[in-house]
Amino acid sequence: MERVERAAMQETIGHVEFSFSSSLRPWGGDPEQYWLEVTGRIMALPDEAPDDAEAEPAGTMEMLLVRVAEARDDEVSLFAVFDSYDEALHQIYRALFNKNEDLRSSLGMEHFDHEVLVIRSLQLEPRWRGTSLGAQAVQTAASTLVTMGLVVANADLGLSVDDWLNLGFFKIARHKDFYVCDRTRKNRYGRAVL
């Protein structure tokens, strides 16, 4: 059986429709106001589609955007923000930040006042599984929602190790449940871009 490298697969034409809402400011220090639930509807155009075809629904994404800079500006504890959602977000906080709410030195970054995008789920319709669409959707979410910051993704989103590495993600020691990508660096995508 011949192995097909996903990075070599043809890119899919399409887009992601993002949806979220936010309470009006001021937030009064409520930790739950410093994260946004974001959904993404992945739309794609099949290769065999005629020139005038419209993109079809190909999958969905569920994400959280943690507004670290806003929380710090409002002197709201990052621990309280991450802890106010669920245990998974609490574990991500523990992996990223130390007890002083500074980014862990093992991540190789200095002072951090940017956003954290957490990609919690990625579901593709059966015909789109095994294509580059999942990696393209992750890259699109990161590029659209986090100009500067970290992207954290559940490790079980269906992407290959090569996909994660090509997108510039890495795993943190002792935290194998998710990948992290530092979008504060100039070459954000590591080895290659899909």
| Strand order across the 175-182 sheet | 13-19, 35-45, 56-66, 115-124, 149-154, 175-182, 170-172
Average pLDDT, the chain: 86
Write down the pLDDT at residue 32.
Answer: 94
Taken in order of first residue, the domains within the chain and their CATH numbers are 6-182 (3.40.630)
Residue 187 has pLDDT above 70, yes or no: no
Which pLDDT value is given to residue 143? 92
3-state secondary structure of 107: helix
Q: Which pLDDT score, from 0 to 100, does residue 176 have?
A: 80
Predicted TM-score (pTM) of this structure: 0.86
- Closest listed residue to residue 78, CA positions, set 54, 96, 55, 57: 96
pLDDT tens, residue by residue, 87-143: 999 999 999 998 999 888 887 776 677 899 999 999 999 999 989 999 999 999 999
CA 114, 120, 124, 129 torsion: positive or negative?
Answer: positive
CB 185 within 8 A of CB 170: no
Q: How far apart are CA 42 and CA 80, in angstroms?
A: 32
* 39 Cβ contact list (under 8 Å, min separation 6): 18, 19, 20, 60, 61, 62, 63
The CA angle 139-144-147, to the nearest 5 degrees, is 95
Read off the pLDDT of each residue in 36-46 and give the average, rounded to a whole number. 95
Q: Looking at residues 37-61, what average pLDDT do you find? A: 91
